[in-house]
Amino acid sequence: MNIREKILVIEDEKSIARFISTILTANGYEAMRAASGAEAMSMISSHCPDLVILDLGLPDMDGLDILRQLRSWSTLPVVVVSARSHERDKVAALDLGADDYLTKPFRLGELRARVAAHLRRQHRTPQHRFRRGGLDFDLGEKAVYWGEQPVKLTRGEYAICEYLALHSGQTFSKEQIYEAVFGFDGTADSSAITEHIKNIRAKLRAAGAGEVLQTIWGVGYQWQNES
Ligand code: CA
């Protein structure tokens, strides 16, 4: 099966955003667009793109702040495309974890080649493990560790933890978790989530982990960002 790789274009100038999206689509990628920092952060969490193309001059925040936030929890490849051509701007972006930096105006072929190169590199080094709230997740094994000790979760419990941890710092309702994890209509039996969460907490506690899985009253649940 050929699944198209998703690329999020964060750019407030409509003509440029449209232009880049058109090139990406023509090259077989699925292109999504965000015109502000807030929209970008929410789309990164909800759509899990494979790569991000990031403009630095956005209306509500600096692209570097997006990069800083993103790097606190993700290794997603980021290609900065900016009008800022000073050496210090490039260095700042690369220091914050940008994978690449293209100066506007850029050549089409160059953007295409760099996007392809970063996606290839990403495939060669799959991120099998990640850490959230002091717990280590192994995506291959589908296991969670507190230190060296595995937390004995059922498959459903693991799936809920993985989803919340991958989106740590965000709050999800029972219905949203149910739909995201089990793939059914969220109205079906989301009350099962309450039970799962209770069991997960008990197991985490028994393993010695902190209270990383928080209830946000009246809204839902959230995995704490700190590790
Ligand atoms: Ca801009």
Distance 153 CA to ligand 1 centre (A): 45
The pLDDT tens digits of the residues spanning 166-203 come to 888 899 999 889 888 877 554 557 788 999 999 999 99
* Percent of the chain whose predicted confidence (pLDDT) is above 70: 94
Residue 219 tokens read as 């809204």
Residue 19 tokens read as 């232009």
Distance 32 CA to ligand 1 centre (A): 16
Which SS3 state, helix, strand or coil, does residue 98 take?
A: coil
Q: Which residues are within 8 A (CB) of 89 and not within 5 positions of it... i.e. 6 or more apart?
A: 56, 82
Asked if 179 and 185 count as a contact pair (C-beta separation under 8 A), the reply is yes
Give residue 127's pLDDT: 62
Distance 105 CA to ligand 1 centre (A): 12
Q: Please name every residue paired with 79 in a beta bridge, in sequence order, or none if there are none.
A: 53, 100
Q: Which residues are within 8 A (CB) of 112 and not within 5 positions of it... i.e. 6 or more apart?
A: 23, 27
